[in-house]
Structure 1
Amino acid sequence: MTPDRHGPDGLILAERHPPAAALERARAARLRRREDDLFCTRQVVISALPHEVFAYLREPEHLAEWTYSLRGLARAAGPDLWRATDLLTPGSEVFLQLVAHEPALAVDLRAGAADYLWITSSLLVRPAGELLAKPGSVVFWSTARHPNYDSFPLAPTPDDVWASVAGFHDLELHNLKSILESGAGARRA
């Protein structure tokens, strides 16, 4: 099938759309605030080996070091379940589960109530050499926008919560980078 003659209407392909129009559309999408996005993905380059970064991320106890507000982690009843206090919502208790996938250098982080871990994030560690031709690691952090974000008690409107996810990911990735580049994370991993 050749894209210029076949395929569903609405495909944006070089054969159908001039480059200037496609570039303008791409710029507009990049600049547009997207509270309606289903995922928030952020990334950071860290001057540490991928396996060191993964070894640090896979340990639940380290969440209290690099996350902005999770403190007092302790094991909870349930398989690989942890309990923590979230300083963003005083008096709250959050439950967490980390699932490490070593061959992929990926860690899934699930959080929420003890009986329903509705927040789902995935952290993927890739060698920076493969992606950017430089030493170190790239960490990609994606969080899905679950409908429960719309009733989150922290913000005045649902979009305020979702709009802040990227900013908090950036803060926490900064913390992760600082810890691992200082060598402190490698000593504890």
Structure 2
Amino acid sequence: MTTAANTPTSTDPAPDFDVPDVYRIENISVKEGMPLVVDMTRSVYPHEQVYGQYCSIQDFIDAPPDEVYEYLSNTLSLEEWTYSLRGFEKTETPGLWISDDRIGKRPGAVPTKIYTRTVANPEARTVDYHCAWDQGEHLWMIYLMRVIDAQLVLDKPGSVVLWTNCHHPFYDKNPFPQAAPEGRPVWVGDFWDLFYAGHVLELRNLKAICEHRHAKGQPITPDWMQQDGRKE
């Protein structure tokens, strides 16, 4: 039975627990811990250490967060701000789109098809693009994005956009080779080491589009995206 006498209060110390490799002020002093964090701090970091398993980028956009979120949550926006996704069309599966990824195309060859489903949450302003080359049954390439009100985190109007990709094992080897167009010389995972630079370029595209339209008093999401018959 819990009584007032043994009910924990905010001033009670954290309960004891025996979990290895957990660093807390109860078991390691600031003096003891400082050499650990200094040792983990470098002036230069290897690319693999920073972007090997996860690729995260971020930027400030001088435009309202709700409008930036609305734009990103519309799958057709990918035709504008991404480098190579073009020609979006609805598939027979509700919410699933197909388009060309022109980065995977040789002149005269069959283009690489990419499938996309957009999963968005307006309350958290998260927009996740679930994608895959060649087939739409297993969408394993997940682009995780979040739009944050810059007033909360930078004390100024605008948006902060966070974008993360995780290195799924399928990047290392195509699990659906039978679905690939004949003669394609590359696999999407061949570009993983360039994801950081490529995504920075695309995030700059997003920033430029949003800031340009907002500065001119135009809707960030253009009318054609709202009215296009392809939109769900």
Both structures adopt the same fold (TM-score exceeding 0.5): yes
Give the whole-Å Cα distance in 2 for the aligned partners of 1:9 and 1:126.
35
CA RMSD of aligned residues (A): 2.7
1:40 aligns with 2:55: yes
Equivalent residue letter for 2:34: P
- 1:135, distance to aligned residue in structure 2 (A): 1.5
Give the whole-Å Cα distance in 1 for the aligned partners of 2:64 and 2:36.
41
Give the 5 Å matches for 1:39-188. 39-90=54-105, 91-112=111-132, 113-151=135-173, 154=186, 161-183=191-213, 186=220, 188=222
Unaligned 5+ segments in structure 2 are 1-12, 106-110, 175-184, 227-232
Aligned-partner SS, 2:48: coil
More strand by share: 1
- 1:18, distance to aligned residue in structure 2 (A): 4.1
Give the whole-Å Cα distance in 1 for the aligned partners of 2:38 and 2:18.
22
- 1:181, distance to aligned residue in structure 2 (A): 0.1
Please, what TM-score do these two structures have when normalized by structure 2? 0.70
State whether residues 50 and 127 of structure 1, in contact with CA within 8 Å, keep that contact through their aligned partners in structure 2: yes
Distance 1:27 1:71, change over 3 A: same
- 1:186, distance to aligned residue in structure 2 (A): 1.5
**In the TM superposition, what whole-angstrom CA distance separates every residue of 1:45-82 from its partner, at most 9, and x where no partner exists?**
00000100001001111101000110111111201011
Give the whole-Å Cα distance in 1 for the aligned partners of 2:220 and 2:158.
13
Equivalent residue letter for 1:106: T
Equivalent residue letter for 1:88: I
Equivalent residue letter for 2:45: L
State whether residues 53 and 125 of structure 1, in contact with CA within 8 Å, keep that contact through their aligned partners in structure 2: yes
Task: Decide which of 3, 9, 23 is 2:38's aligned counterpart.
Answer: 23
- Count of residues paired in the alignment: 185
